[in-house]
Each structure stands twice: as C-alpha cells, then as structure tokens.
Amino acid sequence: MREITDTGRDTFVLLADFWEGFRILEARHDSAEAFIRTEVQAAMYAALRDAIPALEILAIDDLRQRALKAIGPDDFVVTLDGGIVFPSAHFRIDITRAADSIAKSISGPYMRVARGLAPQLRQQAINLHAA
C-alpha cells in the first residue's frame, strides 16, 4: 500500500492483491468469497472513499499489466509475492509473515519465515545465487 496523503497530496493507492491471495486458497468456500466481495470489500472501499479525497484501487489484473510493462525482455525477475503479481518470475523467494502464537496474530510481533515447505531463507538465497 502506498500512501501519499502525509506529504500534502490527496492521493491514496490501495493495492488490492490481498483479495487474490484469498481467492486462490484451496480451503476457501464460494459463499465466503461472495460475502467478502459484497460485504467486506464494499464496506472497506466505501469507508476509505469517505475519508480520502482521491482513492485509486488497483486490482490484480491492473497490477499484473503494470508489472509486465516494467519488465524488460532481458530482466531476471525475482519475486516475493508467491506468484500473484508475477506469475512468470524466474525465481520466487517463499517467505511469509508469521506470529509466534494465535493470540499475537493481529498485534504481532511478526517474524519472516519460509512459506509452506520451502527451504529456509538462507538456502533460498543460495539457490537464487546459483540460478
């Protein structure tokens, strides 16, 4: 998320890639997806529009288009996003934010740990160096 309002400008850009992360969950339920789209998203965007003079919401397809325009044909793409914005990256570093207990999952503190069954970050860096 990029916020410019603190510098006197009136633009707020919300990168809505977190909805895509929910959409690709294997355990998601279609009724939950519909509820989030109609109740949660709509209410969140309405509240932001009430508070911020100029709100731009970039959907995942727009993010992908902008990313593709920024990548040259000879660029080697390394991503941390799990394939949401850069589905054709040359290398993916799999880390995620985690808390040490369920009770701290909202307030933190957070740690960066390897996602899923990915190797630890040091090994991922070694693999990237060898790629």
Which three-class secondary structure string do you get for the chain? CEECHHHCCCEEEEECHHHHHHHCCCCCCHHHHHHHHHHHHHHHHHHHHHHCCEEEEECHHHHHHHHHHHCCCCCCCEECCCCCCCCCCCEECCEEEEECCHHHCCCCCEEEEECCCCCCHHHHHHHHHHC
- Whether 26 shows a pLDDT value over 60: the answer reads no
pLDDT band at 9 (very low <50, low <70, confident <90, very high): low
- Whether 5 shows a pLDDT value over 50: the answer reads no
**So what's the pLDDT on residue 25?**
58
- What is the model's pTM? 0.53
